Every structure is written in C-alpha cells, then in structure tokens.
Structure 1
Amino acid sequence: MSRRAATLTLTSVLVLIFALVGSFMPVPYVALMPGPTSNTLGTNDKGQPLVKIDGREVYPATGHLNFTTVTYRGGPGARIDLFTALRGWVDDDVAIVPEETIFPKNESQQQVDEENTRQMRDSQQNAEAAALNHLKVPISIQVLVDSVQKGKPADGKIKPGDEIIAVDATKVTSVAQVTELMAKRKIGNPVTVTLKRGGAEQKVSLTTAASPDGKRPVVGVVLGDQYKFPFKVDISVGDIGGPSAGLMFSLAIVDKLTPGALTGGKFIAGTGTITPEGKVGPIGGIQQKMIAARHAGATVFLTPADNCTDAVAARPDGLRLVRADTLDSAIKSLESLNAGKNDLPACPGS
C-alpha cells in the first residue's frame, strides 16, 4: 500500500471513529414526544374518578373529554446524545428543542418539577373557578401567602398560609390588587399588612426593600389567590404537572354539574390553560398533544386560538380542530356538534 493510500485509510478510520464517538456525546437539547391522554370524565389508574364532586348534585356523563400531555427525554444531568437528537429531527412525532425551553438557565430539574406541580395545582383551582363562574355559582377569593423569601422584610413576620386581608387601610381580595397597591410605594417606604392566622387578625409593620432588579418595592412574599367554593371538587391525575389541562378540567366539571352529555358521546380531546374568568390560553407541545389525542381515538380537538397556526401545520389526519377562545365558546361548540351543526369556530386553514 502506498503512503498516500495508507494516509487516506487512516484518515477515514479516524473520521469514522470521531463520528461514532460524537454521535454519543450529550447535547443541550430535549426530545418532546406524545404523552398519556386521560379522560376527565373517567377514572385514573387507581379506579378513582379524575374529577370527583361532593356536596352538589351531579349527573351522568358519557363520551370523552381527554386532556393531553407531552413527555420528554433529556435535561440537566440526563442529556440526550447527538444520535438521539438527529433521529428525533426526522421523526414527525418528536420535536427537538433547546434545553432552556424546558429548563430555564439557573433552575435545577427539581425546581422545574416543583414549578410544574404548582402550575397543575393552580390550573385545577382556575378550572373550578371558571366552571362555577360559567354556571353562575357564587365563589369568594382569599389572598394566601405561598412562601416567604429569606432575608426579606417579611421573613419571620409573615408565614406561609397566612391570609392577607389589607394593605395599610385598603382591604384586598386578589393578588392583583395587592400588587397594584405595592406598586404605588417607593423602596424604603413603610407598609402595614393586616393578615389572618389561625382565625385571628393581626397587623404587621414592614419596610419595603428593593426587588432583585432594584426597580420595585417588595416585602418578600409570594402570594396566590385561593378560591373558596361552596362544595368540594377533587381532581386526581397522578404525577402530571403543568397548566395545560385547565380547559378540559373546566369542561368536565360543567358536564358533571349539568344534565345531559356535553360530548354527545363523542371522543373529544383538547388542551389550553384557563383563567378563572374562562379565557383559554396557549400551551406548548401542540404537535405532540394532537398526535397523542388522535392515537387515543379523538376526532375533535379543542385548540387555543394562539396555537392554531402550529396546530394546522401538524394536524393528524382525521382530527378536526375547533378553536377554543373561552370556556363559554368551547361549550357552545360542543353543543353545536351535538346538534349536528358544522359552523363551528375553526383554526384558519384547518
């Protein structure tokens, strides 16, 4: 063998080795895949109703109102390799996204999981509030302390679980109202917070400090709106996080609290966040969620308006997209489907 041929052979072997080694090197990407889909009108894997209502008359519900999920591979400490990423890029069922899309920088996987759990909890509460608002059932709101930041003015004076009743002399009934009142103060201003703890009211005097960006006055508490409902709703979905099932939870609650089947016996799936006022918001992973829904047997998919463009581009065959702007509009669409009408709000181009 000539020296030139030997050099080419060695070079080719080295290139192949480097390519093989490189294909197994971890890369900062995450693979998103279709996840489980569950019927909010049915039971979980323990045989318990996903949505259980106590203290109020409920009605039989048939058909499916499935919420959809996305599973992922990768993330800090468990990155996928280049070969897996390349394979995902050519798989229509998989989306390969930058790692920071799922795991923001400076946040651990535990922190992300905890945030997803909090979002699921909040989405369930918002879903119940939206359903009861739709049904004109009166509800009230409490402003509760979720956590207190160490080293901030409230540390040692306010505790998680405290109910905030007033800021100075102004009574408050929502987190938004507290935020608005605090924004009117300057860093270093005194503020008196009236709270309820263990059924007793007390006043706490604080001095505002600067937010991490130095632009806003804060006292170092994380607040959440806690709704007081006239009856009990339990939503049991197991180890699933995030806010995207809100719309489907609301629909299930409305269906169980009203006579007749909202689905008309059809297999409906969907996704979307929900506000207590019933506004439907966008979610991530729309492509994978539609695939999961279609594989499960869904023929109609309720789609947030802001996800319509991506949904139309990736719609599986046999799945009809119905645009859901609000809980009210989604219910009207399902009622129209039951009546055999076809003039439903649709995603443009679907």
Structure 2
Amino acid sequence: MSRRAATLTVASVIVLLLAVVGSVMPVPYVALTPGPTKNTLGTDDDGRPLITIDGRKTYPDEGHLNFTTVTYRGGPGGRIDLFTALTGWLDGDTAVVPEETIFPKDESQKQVEQENTRQMQNSQQSAEAAALRELGIDVATRVVIEDVQKDRPADGVLKPGDEITAVDGTKATSVTQIVDAMSAHDIGDTVNVTYKRAGKEHEAALKTVADPTGERAVVGIVLADQFKIPFKIDISVGDIGGPSAGLMFSLAIVDRLTPGSLTQGKFIAGTGTITPDGEVGAIGGIQQKMIAAREAGATIFLTPADNCPDARTARPDGLRLVRADTLHGTIQAINAINTGKGDVPGCE
C-alpha cells in the first residue's frame, strides 16, 4: 500500500471514529422546534371544547384564535448528542440553546415541568380575570401562598393555602402589592405578615433573608393571585405548560362572551403572557411559534411588543405581525383589521 493510500485510510478511520463518538456524545444543549398549535375557540383531539363557560350566555365564532407552543429535545434527563445539536444549528426551524436557558442549574427536569404546570394554571386564572375586567365584570382578588421554601424564615410558620391579607399593617389584595411592600425592606429587616388560615386571622413577624441573587429581601414564600369569577370558566389544554398562552385565552373568553365574531372567520394565532389587568408580556421561542402558526394556516400573528425585533427578522412569508401591548389594544387592532378602519400596530 502506498503512503498516500495509507494516509487516506487512517484519515477515513479517524473521521469514522469521530462520527461514531459524535453520534453518542451528549452535550448540554436543548433543541427547540415548532410545537402544536391549538384553537382556543375549538375542541381538543377528543372533541371537547378547550374553553367551556357555564352560567353565562355565550356566542359562537367560526374563526381561529390559536395559541402556539414550542417542543424541546434534550435536558438533564436526556441530553441530545453532538450531531443533533449541529444539525439543529444548521436548520432554520430549530433553535439550539444552552441547557441552563430551559433548565436552571439548581432545578431538576421534574421541578421545571412542575413549574411550567403552575405557570399554565396561573396564566389561565390571569386570563380569565383580564377578560372579565375588559368586559366590565367585577372580579374579586385574594393572594394565597402556593409554596413555602424549605429553611427560609416562613418555613414552619406559614403554609400553602394561607391567604395573605396585609403586610406591615397595609392591606394587600394582589401579588404585586405584596412584592412592592417586601421590596421596601432591607435584608435582615423584620416584616409583619397578616394571614388567614381556616377562616381565622393570624400575624407573623418574619426576619428577611437575601434571595439567591443577594439583592432582595425575602421570607421564602411563593404567592399567587386567586380570583373569584362570578360564573364557571374551564380551560383544558392537556399537559401543555408555561404562561405564554394567556393572551389567546383572554381573547377567546372575550369572544365567547360577546355577540358577533371577533375573528370574522380569520385564522389568527399568537402568543404572550397576560396579567390580570390585561398587560401583555414577552415569551420565548418566538421564531418556532411563528413557524408553527404559519404551517397551521394562520395569516395574522399577535406578537408581544418586546418580541417584535426578533419576530420581524424571522417572520415567515404570508404571516402579518400585529403588535400586542394590552388585551384592550389587541381587540381594537383585530377590529381595525376587520373593518379596515383605525390603526393596526405592527412590528415594523
């Protein structure tokens, strides 16, 4: 065998070995791809409505208000291999991001999934409150403890399910109010918390400690707003998690509770978190969500303002971007599209 042939043979063997190693070598990255998109005005795979409203007159709409999702591969429990990551980097429909972007180092995959489930539940409640407030329907609010962090000042004092009614003697009716009150304290200060348990009111004096960043004073509780809705609204989306469908849930509830068709038969998709007051927030995976929407047939995509720069550069052909700042403004924009009158904010 000539020297040249021998060199080529050795090189081929090395390349083959590298290929084999690369095909099984796990890497700390996650591949994000377009996920399922579901019509909040429609039904699930079993024919059940995604949103059911009982105790209030509802109205039909033949159009679409689809929320969009992202599917991921990888994570601490099943990392992708090097070749999958490289293929994803070359694929325009896939985003390959560092593992800690999705799975913080101090949280397990199961904890992340549980957090996503909690965020979806909170998103649904916020969406219901935002929709009803948009329609002028009164919604009462209370703040409850969802979780008490181990070895923090509240551990052994407060419990999940306790209702926080005041901080330092000032009445509190929202998570935002309580967070603001806590922010006024320095680390090491004592905060006085008034809470209800089993219908009885109690008080606790808790000495604050630093949060993981070392910048904020905390007592170690996870809070959530709970809303008293005057009739029954049920949102069922299976095992999909995260907060990013809030805007689309709110729009669907408003549409179902008002005469006429909000969509006018159009295929509208979108994304965005929602606060109980109707403020729309940014989400992750905007590129993959737009692709999923367009492939499903959407022609209009409702885009949170902070996601507009990325959405603008990755917009699929045939998809019109409509900037969503608030629930009220988004409804006005859809009506302007339907009538041809009024401003329609875009992502330009």
* TM-score, length-scaled by structure 1: 0.92
Task: Look up the equivalent residue of 2:289 and give its one-letter code.
Answer: K
1:186–1:20 CA distance, 2 compared to 1 (3 A): closer
SS in 2 for 1:195: strand
Please give the residue correspondences for 1:283-294 in structure 2 after superposition, counting only pairs within 5 Å: 283-294=283-294
Question: Runs of 5+ in structure 2 lacking a partner?
Answer: none
Structure 2 partner of 1:83: 83
Are 2:304 and 1:297 equivalent residues in the alignment? no
Distance (Å, rounded) in 2 between the aligned partners of 1:277 and 1:46: 33
Distance (Å, rounded) in 2 between the aligned partners of 1:48 and 1:139: 27
Q: By how many angstroms is 1:42 displaced?
A: 0.8
Are 2:154 and 1:154 equivalent residues in the alignment? yes
Q: By how many angstroms is 1:284 displaced?
A: 1.2
Are 2:289 and 1:262 equivalent residues in the alignment? no
**CA deviation vs aligned residue, 1:35-81 (integer Å, no higher than 9, x gap):** 11100001122322111112222122221100011101111131111
Structure 2 partner of 1:125: 125
Distance (Å, rounded) in 2 between the aligned partners of 1:211 and 1:20: 45
The number of residues matched between the two structures is 348
Are 2:7 and 1:25 equivalent residues in the alignment? no
Distance (Å, rounded) in 2 between the aligned partners of 1:96 and 1:150: 34
**CA deviation vs aligned residue, 1:143-178 (integer Å, no higher than 9, x gap):** 111111222332222110011112242221122222
Q: By how many angstroms is 1:210 displaced?
A: 4.4
Structure 2 partner of 1:74: 74
Distance (Å, rounded) in 2 between the aligned partners of 1:201 and 1:328: 37
**CA deviation vs aligned residue, 1:85-113 (integer Å, no higher than 9, x gap):** 22222222222222222112222111111
Shifted more, 266-275 versus 333-342: the winner is: 333-342
Q: By how many angstroms is 1:123 displaced?
A: 1.1
Structure 2 partner of 1:106: 106
Distance (Å, rounded) in 1 between the aligned partners of 2:187 and 2:320: 53
Please give the residue correspondences for 1:1-350 in structure 2 after superposition, counting only pairs within 5 Å: 1-3=1-3, 5-341=5-341, 343-348=343-348
Q: By how many angstroms is 1:194 displaced?
A: 2.0
Distance (Å, rounded) in 1 between the aligned partners of 2:269 and 2:196: 42
Shifted more, 119-128 versus 190-199: the winner is: 190-199
> Percent same amino acid among aligned pairs?
70
1:103–1:336 CA distance, 2 compared to 1 (3 A): same
Shifted more, 17-26 versus 80-89: the winner is: 17-26
1:105–1:188 CA distance, 2 compared to 1 (3 A): closer
SS in 1 for 2:52: strand
Shifted more, 25-34 versus 177-186: the winner is: 177-186
1:68–1:188 CA distance, 2 compared to 1 (3 A): closer
**CA deviation vs aligned residue, 1:104-125 (integer Å, no higher than 9, x gap):** 2222111111111111111111
Q: By how many angstroms is 1:188 displaced?
A: 4.6
1:168–1:255 CA distance, 2 compared to 1 (3 A): same
SS in 1 for 2:307: helix
SS in 1 for 2:329: helix
Shifted more, 268-277 versus 217-226: the winner is: 217-226
SS in 2 for 1:260: coil
Shifted more, 69-78 versus 164-173: the winner is: 164-173
* TM-score, length-scaled by structure 2: 0.93
Distance (Å, rounded) in 1 between the aligned partners of 2:131 and 2:171: 27
Q: By how many angstroms is 1:312 displaced?
A: 2.1
